[in-house]
Amino acid sequence: MATWTIRRLHKTHDRAAFDCGQPVLNEWLRDRAGQFDRRDFPEHSSRNAK
């Protein structure tokens, strides 16, 4: 069982404070993740998480 949870982004999430230690991933989350979520790309949706 996974110890993490996938959640849709919300404007209350502080993406600027996110730091996973990987600059490329940090940048993607800050600059692109919201765009993916707004477009509701199925391959990046929590509906497909198992």
Q: Provide mean pLDDT across the span 14-39.
A: 86
What pLDDT score was predicted for residue 44?
47
Q: Provide mean pLDDT across the span 18-36.
A: 87
Domain of residue 38: give its range.
19-48
Task: Indicate whether 44 belongs to any domain.
Answer: yes
Q: How far apart are the first and last CA of the chain?
A: 10
Mean pLDDT of the chain: 77
pLDDT band of residue 24 (cuts 50, 70, 90) is very high
Task: Indicate whether 11 belongs to any domain.
Answer: no
Task: Indicate whether 4 belongs to any domain.
Answer: no
- CA–CA separation, 48 vs 11, rounded Å? 22
State the total domains in the chain. Answer: 1
- CA–CA separation, 40 vs 8, rounded Å? 10
Across the chain, how many H-helices and E-strands are there? 2, 0
Determine the residue type at 3: T
